[in-house]
Amino acid sequence: MKKTIIFIIIVIITIVVLLVNSDYILKKIYKIKYEEYVEKYSEEYSVDKYLVYAIIKAESNFNEGALSNKGATGLMQLMDNTAKEVAENVVMEYESGITLYNPEKNIKLGIAYYASLKDIYKVDTVTLAAYNAGSGNVNKWIEQGTIKEDGSDIENIPFKETNTYVRKILKDYEMYKKLYDV
Protein backbone atom coordinates (compact mmCIF):
# COMPACT_ATOMS: atom_id res chain seq x y z
CA MET A 1 0.00 0.00 0.00
CA LYS A 2 2.79 2.40 0.93
CA LYS A 3 4.64 1.63 -2.34
CA THR A 4 1.49 2.40 -4.33
CA ILE A 5 1.05 5.76 -2.62
CA ILE A 6 4.71 6.65 -3.18
CA PHE A 7 4.41 5.62 -6.83
CA ILE A 8 1.30 7.79 -7.29
CA ILE A 9 3.03 10.76 -5.67
CA ILE A 10 6.05 10.33 -7.95
CA VAL A 11 3.76 10.14 -11.01
CA ILE A 12 1.89 13.29 -9.93
CA ILE A 13 5.13 15.19 -9.30
CA THR A 14 6.46 14.06 -12.69
CA ILE A 15 3.31 15.23 -14.45
CA VAL A 16 3.42 18.59 -12.70
CA VAL A 17 7.08 19.07 -13.60
CA LEU A 18 6.39 18.16 -17.22
CA LEU A 19 3.42 20.49 -17.42
CA VAL A 20 5.43 23.34 -15.94
CA ASN A 21 8.22 22.63 -18.39
CA SER A 22 6.10 22.15 -21.51
CA ASP A 23 9.14 22.82 -23.72
CA TYR A 24 10.42 19.43 -22.60
CA ILE A 25 7.33 17.74 -24.02
CA LEU A 26 7.31 19.89 -27.14
CA LYS A 27 10.97 19.08 -27.80
CA LYS A 28 10.08 15.39 -27.70
CA ILE A 29 7.43 16.02 -30.36
CA TYR A 30 9.52 18.51 -32.37
CA LYS A 31 12.79 16.67 -32.07
CA ILE A 32 16.08 17.48 -33.70
CA LYS A 33 18.25 14.72 -35.08
CA TYR A 34 21.05 14.58 -37.64
CA GLU A 35 22.09 18.12 -36.64
CA GLU A 36 25.56 17.82 -38.14
CA TYR A 37 24.12 17.15 -41.60
CA VAL A 38 21.16 19.51 -41.41
CA GLU A 39 23.31 22.40 -40.22
CA LYS A 40 26.13 21.72 -42.69
CA TYR A 41 23.92 21.49 -45.78
CA SER A 42 21.41 24.12 -44.69
CA GLU A 43 24.27 26.58 -44.51
CA GLU A 44 25.80 25.37 -47.78
CA TYR A 45 22.52 25.74 -49.69
CA SER A 46 21.11 28.73 -47.75
CA VAL A 47 18.01 26.97 -46.45
CA ASP A 48 16.77 27.62 -42.93
CA LYS A 49 17.69 24.62 -40.79
CA TYR A 50 14.42 24.82 -38.85
CA LEU A 51 12.49 24.54 -42.09
CA VAL A 52 14.55 21.43 -42.93
CA TYR A 53 13.70 19.90 -39.55
CA ALA A 54 10.02 20.63 -40.20
CA ILE A 55 10.25 18.96 -43.62
CA ILE A 56 11.99 15.88 -42.20
CA LYS A 57 9.43 15.66 -39.38
CA ALA A 58 6.55 15.77 -41.87
CA GLU A 59 8.15 13.52 -44.47
CA SER A 60 9.57 10.70 -42.36
CA ASN A 61 9.40 11.70 -38.69
CA PHE A 62 13.19 11.20 -38.65
CA ASN A 63 12.96 7.58 -39.84
CA GLU A 64 15.93 7.12 -42.18
CA GLY A 65 14.41 3.90 -43.53
CA ALA A 66 11.08 5.47 -44.47
CA LEU A 67 9.57 4.41 -47.79
CA SER A 68 6.30 5.90 -49.01
CA ASN A 69 3.65 4.03 -50.98
CA LYS A 70 4.67 6.21 -53.96
CA GLY A 71 8.32 5.19 -53.69
CA ALA A 72 9.77 8.25 -51.95
CA THR A 73 12.68 7.19 -49.75
CA GLY A 74 14.54 8.22 -46.63
CA LEU A 75 14.45 11.14 -44.26
CA MET A 76 13.43 13.78 -46.80
CA GLN A 77 11.35 11.35 -48.89
CA LEU A 78 12.94 11.81 -52.28
CA MET A 79 11.92 9.99 -55.43
CA ASP A 80 14.72 8.05 -57.10
CA ASN A 81 14.66 9.98 -60.39
CA THR A 82 14.64 13.34 -58.61
CA ALA A 83 17.50 12.27 -56.34
CA LYS A 84 19.57 11.04 -59.32
CA GLU A 85 19.14 14.37 -61.07
CA VAL A 86 20.06 16.36 -57.96
CA ALA A 87 23.07 14.10 -57.33
CA GLU A 88 24.33 14.87 -60.85
CA ASN A 89 23.89 18.61 -60.22
CA VAL A 90 25.81 18.51 -56.93
CA VAL A 91 28.40 16.07 -58.37
CA MET A 92 27.68 13.28 -55.93
CA GLU A 93 27.90 9.55 -56.48
CA TYR A 94 24.42 8.02 -56.52
CA GLU A 95 23.32 4.41 -56.27
CA SER A 96 19.62 3.58 -56.58
CA GLY A 97 18.24 1.72 -53.60
CA ILE A 98 21.18 2.62 -51.37
CA THR A 99 22.06 6.33 -51.39
CA LEU A 100 18.71 7.59 -50.13
CA TYR A 101 18.89 5.43 -47.01
CA ASN A 102 22.12 7.16 -45.99
CA PRO A 103 21.07 10.04 -43.68
CA GLU A 104 23.83 12.43 -44.74
CA LYS A 105 23.33 11.88 -48.46
CA ASN A 106 19.55 12.02 -48.19
CA ILE A 107 19.68 15.28 -46.26
CA LYS A 108 22.20 16.79 -48.67
CA LEU A 109 20.12 15.81 -51.69
CA GLY A 110 16.87 16.92 -50.06
CA ILE A 111 18.23 20.32 -49.11
CA ALA A 112 19.90 20.79 -52.50
CA TYR A 113 16.60 19.90 -54.18
CA TYR A 114 14.64 22.29 -51.96
CA ALA A 115 17.17 25.06 -52.67
CA SER A 116 16.84 24.50 -56.43
CA LEU A 117 13.06 24.79 -56.13
CA LYS A 118 13.41 27.93 -54.00
CA ASP A 119 15.57 29.48 -56.75
CA ILE A 120 12.59 29.03 -59.06
CA TYR A 121 9.65 29.87 -56.78
CA LYS A 122 11.33 32.34 -54.38
CA VAL A 123 8.87 31.87 -51.46
CA ASP A 124 8.63 28.95 -49.08
CA THR A 125 4.90 28.34 -49.48
CA VAL A 126 5.13 27.77 -53.22
CA THR A 127 8.46 25.96 -52.89
CA LEU A 128 6.95 23.56 -50.35
CA ALA A 129 4.01 22.94 -52.69
CA ALA A 130 6.47 22.07 -55.47
CA TYR A 131 8.50 19.83 -53.14
CA ASN A 132 5.33 17.89 -52.37
CA ALA A 133 3.30 17.99 -55.59
CA GLY A 134 6.01 18.54 -58.19
CA SER A 135 7.01 21.55 -60.25
CA GLY A 136 4.73 20.62 -63.13
CA ASN A 137 1.64 20.89 -60.96
CA VAL A 138 2.76 24.11 -59.31
CA ASN A 139 3.62 25.70 -62.68
CA LYS A 140 0.17 24.74 -63.97
CA TRP A 141 -1.55 26.19 -60.88
CA ILE A 142 0.33 29.46 -61.27
CA GLU A 143 -0.35 29.66 -65.03
CA GLN A 144 -4.06 28.97 -64.47
CA GLY A 145 -4.24 31.54 -61.66
CA THR A 146 -5.18 28.91 -59.10
CA ILE A 147 -2.36 30.09 -56.82
CA LYS A 148 -0.26 33.23 -56.82
CA GLU A 149 3.50 33.25 -57.32
CA ASP A 150 3.93 35.11 -54.03
CA GLY A 151 2.33 32.26 -52.08
CA SER A 152 -0.20 34.54 -50.41
CA ASP A 153 -3.13 32.26 -51.16
CA ILE A 154 -2.06 28.80 -50.01
CA GLU A 155 -5.68 28.03 -49.22
CA ASN A 156 -6.17 27.69 -53.00
CA ILE A 157 -3.70 24.83 -53.46
CA PRO A 158 -6.01 22.33 -55.17
CA PHE A 159 -4.47 19.07 -53.95
CA LYS A 160 -5.78 18.50 -50.44
CA GLU A 161 -2.65 16.54 -49.48
CA THR A 162 -0.36 19.34 -50.68
CA ASN A 163 -2.52 22.03 -49.09
CA THR A 164 -2.36 20.22 -45.74
CA TYR A 165 1.35 19.50 -46.21
CA VAL A 166 2.28 23.16 -46.76
CA ARG A 167 0.25 24.30 -43.76
CA LYS A 168 1.77 21.59 -41.54
CA ILE A 169 5.33 22.42 -42.55
CA LEU A 170 4.79 26.14 -41.94
CA LYS A 171 3.22 25.46 -38.52
CA ASP A 172 6.00 23.06 -37.55
CA TYR A 173 8.63 25.51 -38.84
CA GLU A 174 7.29 28.19 -36.52
CA MET A 175 7.34 25.74 -33.61
CA TYR A 176 10.94 24.73 -34.33
CA LYS A 177 11.98 28.38 -34.38
CA LYS A 178 10.13 29.06 -31.15
CA LEU A 179 11.67 26.08 -29.34
CA TYR A 180 15.24 26.16 -30.62
CA ASP A 181 16.06 29.60 -32.02
CA VAL A 182 17.21 31.17 -28.79
15, 133, 138 from 53: Cα distances, Å: 28, 19, 23
Taking Cα atoms as reference points, which of 113, 93, 114 lies closest to residue 102?
Answer: 93
pLDDT tens, per residue, the chain with 182 residues: 777 888 888 888 777 666 656 788 889 999 999 999 999 999 999 999 999 999 999 999 999 999 999 999 999 999 999 999 999 999 999 999 999 999 999 999 999 999 999 999 999 999 999 999 999 999 999 999 999 999 999 999 999 999 999 999 999 999 999 999 87
Query: What's the pTM?
Result: 0.88
Query: So where are the chain's domains?
Result: 1-30, 32-180
Best CATH choice for the domain 32-180 from the list 1.10.560.10, 3.40.140.10, 1.10.530.10, 3.90.1210.10:
1.10.530.10
- Catalytically active residues are 59
